[in-house]
Structure 1
């Protein structure tokens, strides 16, 4: 009876040792996973910090580009000229640029030779007005 009890305890100790080995392997595996995850987190923190710097620079560049675009549009509009009251020619062959050049030549005859080069584009804005029936 004593030997069977000793055998049972020996078997129990072997089972406990096997369980301890299995737990040790699980703990080692969990430790490796935790270390891997910790390294990945650190790597992601570094990448995130770099991306935040890049986004900040891109936002700054974007703002500068917007400001430059607005300034260029503003500069371009400085050369725009709006002529009010210019009569419409109701024919389909109306050329707003030629009419504008003629009008400007009347206003500033000393520039009439340069107006072909100076006036780039001319167009009417808004809807074409209907002729009043007489």
Structure 2
């Protein structure tokens, strides 16, 4: 190491490791002998390049064929998708019609049920239900009802005989009582 490059702090430790002057210069680079390649070597290199170019061209043509066939398949697939989409739209349109019909039928059914209930209510205005009377097999239900009414209003005996048309047992109540 040269004396002008040394720092004062590390001068003592570096003196022993490095010599004072640079070492010898490296060996000169060897140059290739300048010789012209022979025509045979050049011809061989050109033929190899031509073969590589031919191989590359074949691969490019194969890729073009594949791209062309893929384009045809993609356009065919697009046409099929269009057909499926149209069919799907037609099916959706057809499925809306039954939905509308069902909603119309449901509305009409509700209206008719309300009307039937109203008619039944008009018919039931003369009905009277008596609950809490124990039932006995073979009894005359009309006579049991007449007895109950006569107990409340004995003065209406003649009128009640003609007013009560029919009396029935409540079979649903009877089935649960057994």
Give the TM-score normalised by structure 1: 0.67
Counterpart of 1:52 in structure 2 is 96
Q: Provide, for residues 13-71 of structure 1, a one-character-per-residue CA deviation record: whole Å limited to 9, x for no partner.
A: 11111011112212211221122012101111111012112211221122111211221
Gaps of 5+ in 2: 1-44, 150-157
Counterpart of 2:54 in structure 1 is 10
SS at match of 1:14: helix
Which runs of structure 2 are paired with 1:51-90 in the superposition (5 Å)?
51-80=95-124, 81-83=126-128, 88=133, 90=135
Counterpart of 1:122 in structure 2 is 168
> When the two structures are aligned, how many residues end up with a matched partner?
119
Structural RMSD (CA): 3.4
**Separation in 2, partners of 1:87, 1:62:** 39
State the structure with more CA Rg: 2
Q: CA deviation at 1:94?
A: 3.8
Higher relative contact order (CA 8 A, sep 6+): 1
Specify which of 65, 68, 80 is matched with residue 21 of structure 1. Answer: 65
